[in-house]
Structure 1
């Protein structure tokens, strides 16, 4: 027998779960027309077949028309959802995983100009900062209608063959009733805590009348809002006790915090640089207080933390949701004793930040997640072994080496630096972002397993490449900072990389001119501000750092707002003059004729990179395809067949920032989708 606490079965009512690891309800925004079609199903099935005990679908599946999704959620109020959910549940069940779904009414956490343009509703007129809609205060007929909608949606999920449902009560309508901050109704649904809970118990009664007692029903809820005037821990424990005693709830999924602002959301769902499992002990208190089956998930990224959660009796089931986005085969690798092979979640939160900005969830370093219908999580072997030479060992080059190695090819990597990592090394110089190094470390370990050969401190010239007699050459040399951005005075600028690397020390009165809007600009500004310098971050855009999405912006702001930092938007740096030790910045605007002058002693520019592509162009005449990519074949998942140069000796491609300035995920995706078909 395997005595690993994580691999022990658990009895949840009548349902036997095969282990203690689950993915909690989350919406990766993969539905089509509000329905969980092929991609959505493939995403969950991939994790089910790899051993997860239960996959909980659809964070925030909408139960009413006046709860329009603000990102691409499942529309649980539509009857047509039943066959789609049944197909998903049936296939996951075939692989031994239980399936549930989270149902909710968003209340004020949405917008009136989405869906059918119906008024947003809440138990008060208090606007939610994140989505900015001013809600209508609920009338009695709204409450009756929404209670019925909850029951109908639950009935749909029972008809689809799911094992159960979870109701959401953190930041959504249900706990908007609970919190004194968002409920100013008169009785019977306002006033005392018991009255504020009445809506929840009315919903539970209506659901039980429709689905009976055998269908599993739980709540994911905040048991402490951690905000002045809101629900406190004592309230949360009282609510937990009432839920456990009502006889209608089968499990509790405990959250701590509030989510109506980016900062609050980030404390509930912590990102890199924040403490692992910050609310786990609190969930354990709720379990001890109620004796109820208890679930919890909040930055539990590694097996050791998850094992502790179960072994110490803090929770019965542990959610490793983002960890499963990074490695869907996590449970299988535990079972097989291959924990060292688990691709680590680095907490970059590219997944969630993309959702909250209207995109689909993608993992920063697993480009197959969210693309299960087109990209493999397990790389098949090639029918023929080839010699592959890769120049550069940043994220693009290392992913190319890993994938080519998995295909069974002979792979050699040339790297000019003395260690791998490329721009990731600069990113990880910030203590808060050091987890990013795992992107590199995991790939280096995989490459070692696959026999990939590395040559560091090697500057690749055409003769160097040709000496390896390659069948395929991949140029993954990345790029260098672009600072030639002014009409004049470019020679007085330094790059964000200069600051991050420590090659140039911060001045005392510094302008950070950020025309790229990505993390490098804010990281450089933080280094400068922490040195004690007066720091101004300026952008020609209408908002600063637009590529640093909401949750990742939070730790930057918490740091920069405590320092001597100002933010200036809508001004463009036109030219710079030097007068002694003073730099005169000439500012203009895209909005009309304007000229202002400001004085600094250092000006730092963040304007992306330009490709380091000299070697690529030197090799073009010797290549069979002359660097050309057949995009039709690339997108269709077919091998590249362009061979316009009959005298060519090898195929030649470039990937990542050696093509253009993008991000880590794009670099890794470039490598995966090109090399998987080699």
Structure 2
């Protein structure tokens, strides 16, 4: 028997949860037409295989047709959802994992120009900035039908064999009545706290009438909006007490903060560079004052913090949601004494930012998550002959290819020109705020060391070095170099974003950053320059700045720009740079006309992605079995993707990551996984 607090069971009503780890409700946007089909099912099943006690589906499933999906939400208002949820529940139950679902009416947190174009409604017609909605004030007949919709949806969830439901009440319809910031009604639903809780109690009563007293019903609720306009801490704790006092609720899942803007949301869901587990003590205070089961999740990314939360009585169940996106097998590894083996969540929040930008959730460095249909979370040993694998480049693509190939049982040798591994990830991690990214590299280095993989640093491998290894398969993961040769004149006068990130350019004075990429490198360079006291202007030809960066990561950059004497110029293109004494004269134009203007600055930084370092690839290509070719259709199907165009050759050649084209960390990791998983 283990004494680890995280591995102790927890009794929730009649339900025994096998440990204290859970994945809180979130919407990965894997649904098809609002239904949780195989991709959705396998995502949750993987966590069940990984030993998690409870996985919470949806974030949130919508109970009414007039509450259109904001980002891939499940349709709890449809009978068709029941068999899909039943299959998820049955499969996860087989592995000992409880399954619940979060249901909601989104209220104002969506928009009217979706689905059936029905009006968005809320307690009062207060605009929701994040989703841009101007809502209608809910009428009595709206509340009648929505209360009924909640009850019917709960009945469906019970019929699906789920272990319980959770009502969402932070930023949605229910807590819209609670908060002074969003409730300006002049009827019985405003005024006293009991009035503001009236509709929530009605919904709970309606649900209990349908599902009975034994079905588990909880609330994910805001207990302190940390906002002078909203619910105070004292009022929030009193709301918790009163809801517990109804006898209709079985657990509280506590949130702190408000979510009207990206800046506010980032305090609720912190990203890298922000404090870890910032609301844990508050959640513990709610638990102490209500003496009731309390769950909580907010950047509890490591098991040491989670263990502390349970051991100190702050939480009953610990939500490690993003951590399980990075590694769905946390509990299993803990129980097997393999805590060191857990793939770390590095706080990049690539997962959530993709959701909020209308894409599906993906982990920045676990390319199997969300792709369980085609990509393995656990690499199996090959049943074929052991091969000699040579990897050139120890950036994210090369490290992942080496890790996967070694896990397959092959003999792997890695060459790296630099003194350290990591490539552009190590460069990005030079910034204090993004330093956690180095976990992407460190975890893979530890995996390679455990597998006995040899890495030759400070080695600029050439074709003769690769051929001397007598390889069966060669990965070229040499990355790229900054592409700054994009101006009509003055290319030699500019710096790259790499110069800033590496510390080679520590500029003060006036710096123009031309960002024609829209991702992290240009923005991170601007942020670092601001920290050193530079006066920065970001110039971009885009309609808005940094379009490749989602809302949560956008916040830190926006704050840095706002708090300095810096500015952003959109719809503008850098044409040329020339010397003007000790200064630089820049010429700016636009895609929207012929007019130009000039600026006088001290330095110019250009971010325009990278160009592949592909010389070695082209040296080896004529000598390779596949002549470098990849059958993409076969790759997608999981079949042999390397045609034998030169069958007498001794090795197959694949180029991955930025050695192919300028992309991002996830793309490089995905290349390494899918090219190596079947070797």
TM-score range, shorter chain: over 0.9
Contact 2:506–2:532 (CA under 8 A) maintained in structure 1:
no
* Structure 2 residue matching 1:594: 3-state secondary structure: strand
Greater Cα offset, 186-195 or 203-212? 186-195
Q: How does 1:224-239 map to 2 (within 5 A)?
A: 224-239=224-239
Determine the C-alpha separation between the residues in 1 that align with 2:534 and 2:343. 39
Q: Could you list the runs of 5+ residues in structure 1 that have no partner in the other structure?
A: none
Deviations 1:202-251 (A, max 9, x none): 00000000100000000000000001121000110110100111100000
* Structure 1 residue matching 2:474: 3-state secondary structure: strand
Contact 1:529–1:535 (CA under 8 A) maintained in structure 2:
yes
Aligned position for 1:299: 299
Determine the C-alpha separation between the residues in 2 that align with 1:13 and 1:531. 55
Check if 1:652 corresponds to 2:653: yes
Determine the C-alpha separation between the residues in 2 that align with 1:201 and 1:388. 63
Q: How does 1:52-91 map to 2 (within 5 A)?
A: 52-91=52-91
Determine the C-alpha separation between the residues in 1 that align with 2:336 and 2:627. 44
1:276 shift after superposition: 1.1
* Structure 1 residue matching 2:616: 3-state secondary structure: helix
Determine the C-alpha separation between the residues in 2 that align with 1:594 and 1:624. 54
Deviations 1:469-512 (A, max 9, x none): 11111000000000011111111111010111111231411100
Determine the C-alpha separation between the residues in 1 that align with 2:110 and 2:403. 42
Q: Could you list the runs of 5+ residues in structure 2 that have no partner in the other structure?
A: none
Aligned position for 2:18: 18
Determine the C-alpha separation between the residues in 1 that align with 2:503 and 2:225. 41
Greater Cα offset, 275-284 or 637-646? 637-646
Determine the C-alpha separation between the residues in 2 that align with 1:314 and 1:172. 26
Determine the C-alpha separation between the residues in 2 that align with 1:640 and 1:179. 57
Aligned position for 1:115: 115
Aligned position for 2:105: 105
Q: Size of the alignment, in residue pairs?
A: 678
Determine the C-alpha separation between the residues in 2 that align with 1:485 and 1:212. 67
1:661 shift after superposition: 0.3
Aligned position for 2:182: 182
Aligned position for 1:454: 455
Aligned position for 2:258: 258
Aligned position for 1:484: 485
Greater Cα offset, 106-115 or 554-563? 554-563
Determine the C-alpha separation between the residues in 2 that align with 1:435 and 1:675. 26
Determine the C-alpha separation between the residues in 2 that align with 1:245 and 1:42. 38
Determine the C-alpha separation between the residues in 2 that align with 1:340 and 1:99. 28
Check if 1:546 corresponds to 2:547: yes
Contact 1:622–1:647 (CA under 8 A) maintained in structure 2:
no
Aligned position for 1:132: 132
Determine the C-alpha separation between the residues in 2 that align with 1:639 and 1:403. 16
Contact 1:532–1:564 (CA under 8 A) maintained in structure 2:
no
Determine the C-alpha separation between the residues in 2 that align with 1:229 and 1:516. 38
1:560 shift after superposition: 2.4
* Structure 1 residue matching 2:594: 3-state secondary structure: coil
Contact 1:393–1:420 (CA under 8 A) maintained in structure 2:
yes
Determine the C-alpha separation between the residues in 2 that align with 1:630 and 1:105. 46
Contact 1:121–1:137 (CA under 8 A) maintained in structure 2:
yes
Contact 1:585–1:598 (CA under 8 A) maintained in structure 2:
yes
**TM-score of the two chains, using structure 2 as the length reference:** 0.99
1:537 shift after superposition: 0.6
Greater Cα offset, 615-624 or 186-195? 186-195
1:35 shift after superposition: 0.3
Determine the C-alpha separation between the residues in 2 that align with 1:616 and 1:469. 16
Check if 1:340 corresponds to 2:340: yes
**TM-score of the two chains, using structure 1 as the length reference:** 0.99
Determine the C-alpha separation between the residues in 1 that align with 2:508 and 2:240. 54
Determine the C-alpha separation between the residues in 2 that align with 1:505 and 1:44. 46
Contact 1:621–1:648 (CA under 8 A) maintained in structure 2:
no
Determine the C-alpha separation between the residues in 2 that align with 1:51 and 1:574. 56
Check if 1:426 corresponds to 2:427: yes
Q: How does 1:207-246 map to 2 (within 5 A)?
A: 207-246=207-246
Check if 1:606 corresponds to 2:626: no
1:639 shift after superposition: 2.5
Determine the C-alpha separation between the residues in 2 that align with 1:219 and 1:565. 43
Contact 2:642–2:652 (CA under 8 A) maintained in structure 1:
no
Determine the C-alpha separation between the residues in 1 that align with 2:193 and 2:241. 13
Deviations 1:72-113 (A, max 9, x none): 110000011111111111111111111100000110000000
Aligned position for 2:387: 386
**Does the C-alpha gap of structure 1 residues 532 and 507 become closer, same or farther in structure 2, counting only changes over 3 Å?**
closer
Determine the C-alpha separation between the residues in 1 that align with 2:407 and 2:534. 49
Greater Cα offset, 189-198 or 70-79? 189-198
